[in-house]
């Protein structure tokens, strides 16, 4: 591997960017092996944690563009992982709910994501992983839209 200029390698922004490339690849490979995409995981996780939701609500919670939500939900419906039906409280909206098969798929994806995390963070102890997660969470919170 080529050496990187010290002034670059010492910058957290550069390190985070380089690590993100590896993280994306590991997660992508794990989800692909389970027959899913990252958007599928986001939606299944949100439905599991917060319950049934409109597609607009899923987009906000999952930080996804509306068209990406529509496509991902459509794929999840086709696979039997979610149901989509008209919202009885709001005639022009659809309500998306997690199915039993979707909950099982979410468990498979959780395991794939855990393996990707373990691979990515292999050089770190459990305590270091917690510290890194806490620090990244704090930095991200500073830059989140209010």
Residue 16 falls inside a structural domain: no
Structure tokens that stand for 46 in this block: 């949100």
Q: According to the model, what pLDDT value does residue 91 have?
A: 75
Residues 92 and 45: their CA atoms lie apart, in Å, by 24
Closest C-alpha to 84, from 97, 99, 75: 97
CATH number at residue 81: 1.10.10.10
Residue 8 falls inside a structural domain: no
Residue 11 falls inside a structural domain: no
Q: According to the model, what pLDDT value does residue 146 have?
A: 72
Residue 87 falls inside a structural domain: yes
Residue 9 falls inside a structural domain: no
Instruction: Point out the residues of the chain with pLDDT beneath 70.
Output: 1
- What is the number of domains present in the chain? 1
Closest C-alpha to 35, from 83, 99, 79: 79
DSSP reduced 3-state for 114: helix
This prediction's pTM: 0.89
Residue 24 falls inside a structural domain: no
Residue 77 falls inside a structural domain: yes
Residue 10 falls inside a structural domain: no
| Owning domain of residue 76 | 29-118
């Amino acid at each position: 591997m080529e050496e990187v200029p010290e002034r670059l390698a010492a910058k957290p922004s550069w390190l985070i960017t380089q690590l993100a490339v590896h993280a994306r690849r590991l997660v992508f490979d794990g989800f692909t092996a389970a027959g899913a995409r990252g958007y599928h995981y986001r939606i299944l996780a949100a439905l599991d944690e917060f319950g049934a939701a409109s597609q607009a609500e899923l987009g906000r919670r999952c930080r996804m563009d509306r068209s990406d939500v529509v496509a991902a939900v459509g794929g999840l419906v086709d696979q039997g992982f979610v149901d989509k039906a008209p919202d009885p409280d709001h005639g022009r909206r659809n309500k998306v709910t997690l199915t039993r098969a979707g909950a099982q798929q979410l468990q498979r994806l959780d395991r794939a994501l855990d393996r990707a995390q373990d691979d990515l963070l292999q050089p770190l102890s459990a305590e270091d992983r917690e510290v890194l997660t806490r620090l990244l969470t704090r930095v991200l919170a500073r830059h989140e839209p209010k």
